[in-house]
Amino acid sequence: MNLRCGVDLGSRFVKIALEEGGSRRYLGPFDTAEFYRKHIEPGEGGGTLRGRSLGLVEGVRVAATGYGRVRLGGGAVVFPELEAIAAGVSALTGIEDAVVLDVGGQDSKALLVRDGRLADFEANDRCAASAGKFLENMSRVLGMDWEELGNYWEDPVELSSTCAVYGETELVGLLGEGWPVERLAAGVNRAILGRLLPLLSRFPRGTLVLTGGVARSRALRVLLAERLGVEPVVPEPPDFVAAVGCCRLLLKEENNGR
């Protein structure tokens, strides 16, 4: 069987990529907690994927990455997340040399990719203020979904708080003062930009690839282009990059074993 299954078990969502021959399809995103309950069979040394519950045939090769990858340690090949992202970028875009900015649910990372492989990285895994969870929280306060939030970047209201929790309190206060929702949304997007730029500061300028669900934000793409002078490349779909990378790393492992 040539079917390969890549599973990215993120902190907020689980994404699955399936590759067979030259075709590719996607399952999800699934809520992570719900996915654990419905689709993972617990066991010693790590769980196994309940393939039938996802409509998968028996015998499919599975690779896992992301925060929860050890939960599939009993029935999957496990790959480091950053290596999977690098491989996924190469598979989806054909780009072998780039700086990759990955904005996940709970953290953000900048990767230096050379010849399709991870060469260096910088991560912010200590604060959700530079991650998708921050945008989810802020969009909820503003009464819009986070995709709508990504439509605003002009004439922003400056937010002073650098904390995701206190940022909500500040935003509520500004709403109470009567500031327009659109300007506050622009301020939120400017704020997350300011927290992402330091991750890129020590890497050379050149091709920039933006991955993760936050890559769907038009505001972030526009603001990065304005600040860095380079239009970000966004793989499609941007939130399945690591899952696709798992499939490619499996293929590489198979070819090396021949």
For 102-121, what is each residue's pLDDT tens digit?
Answer: 998 778 999 999 999 999 99
Q: Over the stretch 1-13, which tens digit does the pLDDT of each residue have?
A: 588 999 999 988 9
**Residue 257 burial (10 A CB sphere; 0-12, 13-18, 19+):** exposed
Residue 62 scores a pLDDT above 60: yes
Residue 257 scores a pLDDT above 70: no
Q: Outline where DSSP puts E strands in 94-194.
A: 98-103, 108-114, 117-124
Percent of the chain scoring above 70 in pLDDT: 94
- The domains found in the chain, sorted by start residue, are 4-82+241-256 (3.30.420.40), 97-232 (3.30.420.40)
Q: Over the stretch 70-105, which tens digit does the pLDDT of each residue have?
A: 899 888 999 999 999 999 999 999 999 999 999 987
| pLDDT of res. 129 | 53
Residue 226 scores a pLDDT above 60: yes
CA distance 14 to 11: 8
Rounded to an integer, the average pLDDT of 217-228 is 95
